[in-house]
């Protein structure tokens, strides 16, 4: 999963401006609405909704705004229903790229994403040709200096976590997606406060990129993440922090 936490930390810096924060909130609320549209619109009975709401709250979105998104997703407000899309692509340096989207107009979104890929040295891949390189996992991330690593490891394994990884100043508890919420709550009850948490697609192995190829991939990630319908972009690249930082503004 090399690079995943690095890019997550850089994204937090990118969201500092009001304009980017507004766009980030919009995407979070889309995720809440989508989760509410699948199953029962109650976080106590819908783990996906609980996760989306927790993430929105962690980003500072007001509770009443989140509640409105839940109503929107459940159909209570008569809003258009969102659809999930997953694109696979080949990026600069032969990297694998997975693009997770939510849209109310699949044809428009498909056309726009193809255009962005074509303009940024990437091309669409056939379904299944890229996703097999990734595994969906729950990630509960802590700042390395804020917790005792040995105690966190013991608590995580006792709660049923898969592993604890140390990378780029962070400690990441890995879980199966189905047990993500349970393990996160167990750690929180024991006093471990995560910096971020989500279910993400993590690469099973990575490709080292440097120079122009690394810069081209980071530019592609930025362009894709700036699209209103793109929720997440996952890549199997190992890139130095300095390259991510260079394009974080």
Domains annotated on the chain, with CATH: 4-74 (1.10.10.200), 83-128+208-246 (3.30.70.980), 133-203 (3.30.70.980)
Q: Helix (H, G, I), strand (E, B), or coil: what is residue 88?
A: strand
Position 17 pLDDT exceeds 50: no
Q: Edge-to-edge strands of the sheet including 170-175? A: 163-167, 170-175, 134-143, 196-203
Beta carbons of 200 and 62 less than 8 angstroms apart: no
Average pLDDT over residues 102-119: 94
Query: Higher model confidence: residue 78 or residue 239?
Result: 239
**What single DSSP character describes residue 230?**
E
Position 48 pLDDT exceeds 90: no
Predicted pLDDT of residue 26: 87
Which range has the top average pLDDT, 53-62, 93-102, 193-202, 235-244? 93-102
Share of the chain above pLDDT 90, in %: 61
Banded pLDDT at 80 (limits 50, 70, 90)? low
pTM: 0.84
Banded pLDDT at 212 (limits 50, 70, 90)? very high
């Amino acid at each position: 999963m090399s690079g995943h936490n690095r890019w997550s930390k850089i994204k937090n810096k990118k969201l500092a401006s009001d304009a980017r924060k507004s766009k980030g909130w919009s995407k979070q609320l889309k995720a809440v609405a989508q989760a509410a549209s699948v199953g029962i619109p109650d976080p106590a009975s819908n783990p996906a909704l609980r996760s989306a709401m927790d993430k929105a709250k962690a980003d500072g979105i007001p509770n009443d705004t989140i509640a409105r998104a839940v109503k929107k997703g459940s159909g209570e407000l008569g809003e258009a229903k969102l659809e999930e899309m997953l694109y696979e692509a080949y990026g600069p340096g032969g990297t694998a790229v997975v693009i997770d989207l939510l849209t109310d107009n699949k044809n428009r979104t498909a056309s726009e994403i193809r255009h962005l890929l074509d303009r940024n040295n990437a091309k669409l891949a056939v379904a299944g040709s890229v996703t097999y390189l990734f595994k969906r996992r729950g990630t509960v991330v802590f700042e390395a200096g804020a917790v005792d690593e040995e105690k966190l490891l013991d608590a995580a394994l006792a709660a049923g976590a898969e592993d604890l990884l140390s990378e780029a100043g962070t400690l990441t508890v890995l879980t199966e997606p189905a047990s993500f919420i349970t393990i996160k709550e167990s750690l929180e009850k024991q006093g471990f406060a995560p910096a971020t948490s989500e279910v993400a697609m993590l690469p099973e192995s990575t490709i080292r990129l440097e120079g122009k190829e690394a810069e081209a991939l980071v530019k592609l990630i930025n362009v894709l993440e700036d699209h209103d319908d793109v929720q997440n972009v996952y890549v199997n690249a190992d890139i130095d922090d300095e390259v991510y930082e260079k394009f974080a503004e």
